[in-house]
Amino acid sequence: MKLLQEQTQKLKIGESLIIQTASRLLIPFIQLFGLYVIVHGHYSPGGGFQGGVILGASFVLLALAFDQKFSMQYMSEKTSGLLANTGALIFVGTGTLCAIFGGLFLHYSALDVLIPLGPIEWRSFGIFIVEVGVGLAVMSNMAILFWVLGSNGEMDEGL
Protein backbone atom coordinates (compact mmCIF):
# COMPACT_ATOMS: atom_id res chain seq x y z
CA MET A 1 0.00 0.00 0.00
CA LYS A 2 2.82 2.40 0.93
CA LEU A 3 4.56 1.61 -2.32
CA LEU A 4 1.40 2.40 -4.28
CA GLN A 5 1.05 5.75 -2.54
CA GLU A 6 4.62 6.68 -3.23
CA GLN A 7 4.31 5.68 -6.85
CA THR A 8 1.17 7.75 -7.38
CA GLN A 9 2.61 10.75 -5.55
CA LYS A 10 5.62 10.79 -7.78
CA LEU A 11 3.58 11.09 -10.96
CA LYS A 12 1.89 14.46 -10.25
CA ILE A 13 -0.78 14.01 -12.90
CA GLY A 14 -4.52 13.67 -12.94
CA GLU A 15 -6.84 13.54 -9.98
CA SER A 16 -6.26 13.46 -6.21
CA LEU A 17 -4.28 10.79 -4.40
CA ILE A 18 -7.34 8.95 -3.07
CA ILE A 19 -8.87 8.51 -6.50
CA GLN A 20 -5.58 7.40 -8.01
CA THR A 21 -4.82 4.83 -5.34
CA ALA A 22 -8.36 3.48 -5.34
CA SER A 23 -8.48 3.09 -9.12
CA ARG A 24 -5.04 1.48 -9.12
CA LEU A 25 -6.33 -1.09 -6.66
CA LEU A 26 -9.62 -1.61 -8.49
CA ILE A 27 -8.50 -1.87 -12.11
CA PRO A 28 -7.02 -5.41 -11.92
CA PHE A 29 -10.28 -6.68 -10.47
CA ILE A 30 -12.32 -4.85 -13.10
CA GLN A 31 -10.26 -6.50 -15.83
CA LEU A 32 -10.56 -9.90 -14.17
CA PHE A 33 -14.32 -9.45 -14.01
CA GLY A 34 -14.37 -8.51 -17.70
CA LEU A 35 -12.51 -11.70 -18.58
CA TYR A 36 -14.93 -13.68 -16.40
CA VAL A 37 -17.91 -12.16 -18.18
CA ILE A 38 -16.46 -13.08 -21.58
CA VAL A 39 -15.46 -16.63 -20.65
CA HIS A 40 -18.56 -17.41 -18.61
CA GLY A 41 -20.97 -16.24 -21.27
CA HIS A 42 -22.30 -19.76 -21.83
CA TYR A 43 -23.66 -20.18 -18.32
CA SER A 44 -24.58 -16.71 -17.06
CA PRO A 45 -25.54 -13.33 -18.48
CA GLY A 46 -22.57 -12.13 -20.43
CA GLY A 47 -20.65 -12.65 -23.61
CA GLY A 48 -18.24 -10.89 -25.89
CA PHE A 49 -19.94 -7.52 -26.12
CA GLN A 50 -20.54 -7.02 -22.42
CA GLY A 51 -17.13 -8.28 -21.29
CA GLY A 52 -15.38 -6.25 -23.97
CA VAL A 53 -17.11 -3.10 -22.80
CA ILE A 54 -16.06 -3.81 -19.18
CA LEU A 55 -12.45 -4.36 -20.27
CA GLY A 56 -12.54 -1.13 -22.28
CA ALA A 57 -14.03 0.74 -19.32
CA SER A 58 -11.03 -0.22 -17.20
CA PHE A 59 -8.78 1.65 -19.62
CA VAL A 60 -11.18 4.60 -19.60
CA LEU A 61 -11.00 4.67 -15.79
CA LEU A 62 -7.21 4.62 -15.95
CA ALA A 63 -7.23 7.50 -18.42
CA LEU A 64 -9.65 9.52 -16.28
CA ALA A 65 -7.92 8.97 -12.95
CA PHE A 66 -4.41 9.56 -14.23
CA ASP A 67 -3.98 10.93 -17.69
CA GLN A 68 -4.22 9.61 -21.17
CA LYS A 69 -0.53 9.11 -21.80
CA PHE A 70 -0.30 7.03 -18.63
CA SER A 71 -3.10 4.73 -19.79
CA MET A 72 -1.52 4.40 -23.20
CA GLN A 73 1.62 2.96 -21.62
CA TYR A 74 -0.43 -0.16 -20.92
CA MET A 75 -2.07 -0.45 -24.33
CA SER A 76 -0.48 1.71 -26.98
CA GLU A 77 -2.20 3.01 -30.07
CA LYS A 78 -0.56 0.38 -32.24
CA THR A 79 -1.49 -2.45 -29.90
CA SER A 80 -5.12 -1.39 -29.73
CA GLY A 81 -5.34 -1.21 -33.51
CA LEU A 82 -3.72 -4.62 -33.75
CA LEU A 83 -6.15 -6.07 -31.21
CA ALA A 84 -9.15 -4.67 -33.09
CA ASN A 85 -7.87 -6.30 -36.27
CA THR A 86 -7.19 -9.57 -34.47
CA GLY A 87 -10.68 -9.70 -32.98
CA ALA A 88 -12.42 -9.15 -36.29
CA LEU A 89 -10.05 -11.64 -37.97
CA ILE A 90 -10.73 -14.34 -35.37
CA PHE A 91 -14.44 -14.11 -36.10
CA VAL A 92 -14.17 -14.05 -39.88
CA GLY A 93 -11.35 -16.62 -39.83
CA THR A 94 -13.42 -19.09 -37.82
CA GLY A 95 -16.24 -18.79 -40.31
CA THR A 96 -13.90 -19.22 -43.24
CA LEU A 97 -12.23 -22.25 -41.65
CA CYS A 98 -15.64 -23.86 -41.33
CA ALA A 99 -16.24 -23.23 -45.02
CA ILE A 100 -12.82 -24.65 -45.93
CA PHE A 101 -13.33 -27.85 -43.95
CA GLY A 102 -16.47 -28.79 -45.74
CA GLY A 103 -19.33 -27.04 -43.96
CA LEU A 104 -21.22 -23.85 -44.53
CA PHE A 105 -19.89 -20.46 -43.47
CA LEU A 106 -19.98 -20.23 -39.63
CA HIS A 107 -21.25 -23.79 -39.30
CA TYR A 108 -18.95 -24.82 -36.47
CA SER A 109 -19.63 -28.56 -36.61
CA ALA A 110 -17.43 -28.76 -39.71
CA LEU A 111 -14.37 -28.07 -37.55
CA ASP A 112 -14.76 -31.56 -36.11
CA VAL A 113 -12.25 -32.68 -38.76
CA LEU A 114 -9.51 -30.64 -37.03
CA ILE A 115 -10.03 -31.68 -33.40
CA PRO A 116 -12.53 -34.49 -32.86
CA LEU A 117 -14.71 -33.17 -30.05
CA GLY A 118 -18.06 -34.16 -31.51
CA PRO A 119 -20.18 -31.90 -33.72
CA ILE A 120 -22.43 -30.61 -30.94
CA GLU A 121 -19.55 -29.79 -28.61
CA TRP A 122 -17.89 -27.99 -31.49
CA ARG A 123 -20.92 -25.78 -31.88
CA SER A 124 -20.53 -24.80 -28.20
CA PHE A 125 -16.78 -24.30 -28.52
CA GLY A 126 -17.10 -22.35 -31.77
CA ILE A 127 -19.40 -19.89 -30.02
CA PHE A 128 -16.68 -19.48 -27.36
CA ILE A 129 -13.96 -18.72 -29.95
CA VAL A 130 -16.19 -16.22 -31.65
CA GLU A 131 -17.02 -14.51 -28.35
CA VAL A 132 -13.33 -14.08 -27.55
CA GLY A 133 -12.85 -12.39 -30.93
CA VAL A 134 -15.80 -10.10 -30.32
CA GLY A 135 -14.49 -9.25 -26.86
CA LEU A 136 -11.04 -8.28 -28.19
CA ALA A 137 -12.51 -6.11 -30.94
CA VAL A 138 -14.99 -4.36 -28.65
CA MET A 139 -12.39 -3.72 -25.93
CA SER A 140 -9.84 -2.09 -28.20
CA ASN A 141 -12.46 -0.13 -30.12
CA MET A 142 -13.96 1.28 -26.90
CA ALA A 143 -10.50 2.40 -25.82
CA ILE A 144 -9.79 3.91 -29.26
CA LEU A 145 -13.10 5.78 -29.27
CA PHE A 146 -12.43 7.29 -25.85
CA TRP A 147 -8.80 8.16 -26.51
CA VAL A 148 -9.37 9.84 -29.85
CA LEU A 149 -12.53 11.69 -28.79
CA GLY A 150 -11.13 12.68 -25.40
CA SER A 151 -7.91 14.19 -26.71
CA ASN A 152 -9.42 15.84 -29.81
CA GLY A 153 -7.36 13.61 -32.06
CA GLU A 154 -3.93 14.37 -30.63
CA MET A 155 -3.52 11.30 -28.37
CA ASP A 156 -1.62 13.24 -25.68
CA GLU A 157 -2.79 14.32 -22.20
CA GLY A 158 -6.46 14.25 -23.04
CA LEU A 159 -9.20 15.25 -20.63
Partner 1 sequence: MEQFTASIIAKYNYWIYVTLMMIGFYAMIGKRNLVKKLIGMNIFQTAIILMFVSSGVKIGAKIPILDKHKALEHGIGVAGVVNPLPHVLMLTAIVVSVSVTGVALAILLRIYRKYGTLDEDEILEKLGK
Partner 2 sequence: MKALALFTTLVTGAVLLYGTMDFPAFGDPQSPASTHISAYFIEEAVHETHVPNLVTAVLGDYRGYDTMFETVVIYCAGLAVISVLRRKKSDKEDSRS
Biggest distance spanned by C-alpha atoms of the chain: 60
- 13 vs 92, which CB is nearer to partner 2? 92
Reported as half-sphere exposure (CB side, CA atoms, 13 A), residue 57 has a value of: 13
Q: What are all long-range contacts of 28-32, with beta carbons under 8 Å and residues at least 24 apart?
A: 30/54, 30/57, 30/58, 30/61, 31/55, 31/58
How far is residue 59's CA from residue 76's CA, in Å, rounded to a whole number?
A: 11
Which of partner 1, partner 2, none binds 123 (CB below 5-8 Å, type-dependent)? partner 2
Question: Per CB under 8 A, does 159 bind partner 1?
Answer: no
Residues near partner 2, by CB under 8 A:
41-47, 84-85, 87-88, 91-92, 95, 105-106, 108, 120-121, 123-124, 126-127, 130-131, 133-134, 137-138, 140-141, 144-145, 148-149, 152-156
As a whole number of angstroms, the distance between CA 19 and CA 2 comes to 15
26, 100, 113, 149: which one binds partner 1 (CB under 8 A):
149
| Rounded Cα distance, 152 and 96, in Å | 38
Beta carbon of residue 32, minimum distance to partner 2 (angstroms, whole number) = 20
Contact letters for partner 1, residues 46-65 (x by CB under 8 A): -x-x----------------
The answer to whether the beta carbons of residues 88 and 38 sit under 8 Å apart is no
Q: With CB under 8 A as the contact rule, which of the stretches 18-26, 88-96, 101-109, 148-156 interacts with partner 1?
A: 148-156
Residues that bind partner 1 (CB under 8 A): 43-45, 47, 49, 138, 142, 145, 148-149, 152-153
